[in-house]
Amino acid sequence: MRVLSGIQPTGRFHWGNYFGAIRQYIDLQEEHDGYYFIANLHALTTIRDAQQLRQLTRDAALDLLALGLNPDKATLFVQSDVPEVSQLTWILMTCTPMGLLERCHAFKEKKAKGITADAGLFTYPVLMSADILAYDSNWVPVGQDQVQHIEVCRDLASSFNHHYGEAFVLPEPRLLSDAAKVPGTDGEKMSKSYDNTIGIFEPENAARKKIMRIQTDSRPMEDPKAPETDHLYQLYQLLASEAEAEDMADLYRRGGFGYGQVKKALADASEQFFAPARQRRQELESRPDTVDDILKDGARRAREKAAEVLARVESACGIRAPS
Ligand code: TYM
């Protein structure tokens, strides 16, 4: 299977990114043909500082490699290094009903918050569709918030195929049931735009402070509590070992504990969980040329595939000689 996913360099990665998406990239690279990219063209809709965007793109590459993405097994590249994707975006744009984009929740939410929408933000799902379709992707590992965009992608591909013949492969989203929507420190979806994230590579004491401030309810300590519906427990379950998570669940069901105790256990579990990645990141930082070479090689491989798909699509719709 060809597996593809992208991640925006709009800030440093957080637990939601890791458990919802990156962890899947790493698992799936073992048995499948993985294409993973840093979506800097998408990030242009929010980051207006050139130096910051370059730095965050670089950080994203280091973070992904440190977390276990293996360039010998998967293709890692930067979105803008494959211009074929932008060419494909235009072609798809001509098959995109306005109403379909107007219904996309990411756009609706930003608009509702008063963020002025430009055409880039509005047509964002079309670029995302091109990202997916350019590589004949079968599976797209993502969190719940991206599922609607993959549905848009399927609609656009089906509509093109209907007009011009079977040019595109239809992709499917891949979700992890325990982490499709990782909660943030306020219990809502963890998201850079809600300011409720805990960063993967955040300094340990800063992360600990955020963990200690996770919002909890005010039920008495002695009350038994249901672990499954508690966001603090949901986070703990992601980071602790299975046995530790089971012990904690028992404690919840018995009652007679304080949330402070759970938060401390969560901070310890997180330090332990991400310690090897922190170490690898430090090593990688001292080898900038290696990272450049990985991205260059990834872009070359990705372009080869995207050029093949673009040629097929251009022939199908009549802007290139028939193949
Ligand atoms: P982005 O950069 O917002 O998020 C990257 C990935 O992290 C997942 N994620 C979460 N999963 C579970 N719980 C959370 N709280 C949480 N927060 C974020 C996202 O679902 C995503 O999988 N549009 C995409 C980037 C993109 C893309 C693509 C993805 C561009 N082209 C093509 C797949 C295929 C985005 O903004 O993700």
Ligand 1 center from residue 161 Cα (angstroms): 26
pLDDT(197) > 90: yes
| pLDDT attached to residue 323 | 83
pLDDT band, very low/low/confident/very high, at 105 (cuts 50, 70, 90) = confident
| pLDDT attached to residue 256 | 92
pLDDT(293) > 90: yes
| pLDDT attached to residue 221 | 85
pLDDT(111) > 90: no
pLDDT digits (tens, 9 = 90+) for 161-195: 999 999 999 999 999 988 999 999 999 999 998 99
| pLDDT attached to residue 150 | 98
Distance CA 317, CA 165 (A): 9
pLDDT(16) > 90: yes
Catalytic positions are 110, 189, 192
Tokens representing residue 62 in the block = 């280091």
Report the 10 Å Cβ neighbour count for 178: 11
Query: Tokens 């995207």 label which residue?
Result: 306
Ligand 1 center from residue 320 Cα (angstroms): 34
Cα 24 to chain centroid distance, Å, stands at 10
Q: Are strands 172-174 and 139-141 parallel, antiparallel or unpaired?
A: parallel
Long-range contacts of 249-252 (CB under 8 A, 24+ apart): 252/224, 252/225, 252/226, 252/227
Q: In sequence order, which ranges of 114-256 are alpha helices (DSSP H)?
A: 119-122, 124-133, 147-164, 204-212, 231-239, 242-254
| pLDDT attached to residue 108 | 87
pLDDT(322) > 90: yes
Indicate which residue's Cα is closest to atom 31 of ligand 1: 128
Of 53, 145, 149, 188, best ligand 1 pocket probe by most atoms within 8 Å of the beta carbon:
145
Give me the chain's average pLDDT, please.
96
Distance CA 158, CA 96 (A): 11
Ligand 1 center from residue 121 Cα (angstroms): 15
* Cα dist from 51 to 54, 56, 57, 180, 258, whole Å: 5, 9, 10, 32, 45
The predicted model gives 68-82 an average pLDDT of: 98
Beta strands in the chain (DSSP E): 2-7, 33-38, 74-78, 139-141, 172-174
CATH code of the domain occupying 202-282: 1.10.240.10
Q: Are strands 74-78 and 33-38 parallel, antiparallel or unpaired?
A: parallel
Amino acid occupying residue 68:
G
Q: In terms of Cα–Cα distance, which of 95, 102, 191, 105 is closest to 148?
A: 105
| pLDDT attached to residue 56 | 98
Contact (Cβ atoms closer than 8 angstroms) between residue 192 and residue 222: no
Ligand 1 center from residue 129 Cα (angstroms): 13
Separate counts of helices (H) and strands (E) for the chain: 15, 5
Contact (Cβ atoms closer than 8 angstroms) between residue 186 and residue 194: yes
| pLDDT attached to residue 208 | 97
pLDDT(116) > 90: no
69 contact partners, CB below 8 Å, separation of at least 6: 22, 25, 26, 29, 36, 76
pLDDT digits (tens, 9 = 90+) for 200-230: 999 999 999 999 999 999 888 889 999 999 9
| pLDDT attached to residue 281 | 97
Domain covering 2-181+288-317, topology? Rossmann fold (3.40.50)
Residue ranges around ligand 1 (CB below 6 Å): 5-8, 16-17, 20-21, 39, 42, 128, 131-132, 140, 142-143, 145-146, 179-182, 189-191
pLDDT(117) > 90: no
The predicted model gives 103-112 an average pLDDT of: 85
pLDDT digits (tens, 9 = 90+) for 25-48: 999 999 999 999 999 999 999 999
Query: Tokens 């590459």 label which residue?
Result: 61
Q: In terms of Cα–Cα distance, which of 70, 85, 66, 174 is closest to 129?
A: 85
Residues of the chain with CATH 1.10.240.10: 202-282
Indicate which residue's Cα is closest to atom 33 of ligand 1: 5
Residues of the chain with CATH 3.40.50.620: 2-181+288-317
pLDDT band, very low/low/confident/very high, at 110 (cuts 50, 70, 90) = confident
| pLDDT attached to residue 113 | 82
Indicate which residue's Cα is closest to atom 27 of ligand 1: 6
Q: Which of 109-118, 131-140, 313-322 comes out lowest in average pLDDT?
A: 109-118
